[in-house]
Homo-oligomer: A and B are copies of this chain.
């Protein structure tokens, strides 16, 4: 059974929707989607760091479409680990675990990993929206499309635009 490491933010959790919501709450303006494309999150949303450090940011993040259903099937056919680079945001650790427990009750604590750098992860497949995580991984890599990576050539990684594409690629 192959082992797959799946990222949280930008893959399971729709953090851009959260950024949009916090941005509007802060400024009263609506962020145009096209203004986020091809820019790092912290550049598109100048106060992104304040947002992610706000209590509740991760706990109340919406789900990415189809992620729950497809991940439950993946969990039956793969050795699944959820791997989040959560250490940068200490307050997020408890929130992220509670979020996973609520939305993905089939994932046990044994399958969760919170780390800083992902180059310590040993798996066959990695799904992530950040090149920095995929580039240090030696297995099969899927780049999950998010505005910040949308304009970049995926290079050696396979780009997937949503969970329906992942479903076709990963599940028989």
Contacts and interface: CB of A to CB of B under 8 A. Distances in A.
Interface of A: 3, 5, 81, 83, 87-88, 90-91, 93-94, 97-98, 108-117, 119-123
Q: How many copies does the complex hold?
A: 2
Given A114-B114, A122-B122, 17 more contacts: A81-B120, A83-B120, A87-B110, A87-B112, A88-B109, A90-B94, A90-B98, A90-B109, A91-B94, A109-B116, A111-B117, A113-B115, A113-B116, A115-B115, A120-B123, A121-B121, A121-B122
Nearest to A119: B122
B108 A97 contact: no
Given A109-B116, A113-B113, A93 B88 contact: no
13 contacts: A83-B120, A87-B110, A90-B94, A90-B97, A93-B94, A109-B116, A111-B116, A112-B115, A113-B114, A113-B115, A115-B115, A120-B122, A121-B122
A113 B115 CA distance: 4
Contacts of A90: 94, 97-98, 109
Nearest to A89: B109
Give the most central of A3, A83, A115, A117: most B CB within 10 Å.
Answer: A115
B88 A97 contact: no
A98 B94 CA distance: 13
Contacts of A94: 90-91, 93-94
A117 B93 CA distance: 17
Nearest to A93: B93
Contacts of A123: 120
Contact of A116 (B87, B98, B108): B108
Nearest to A113: B115
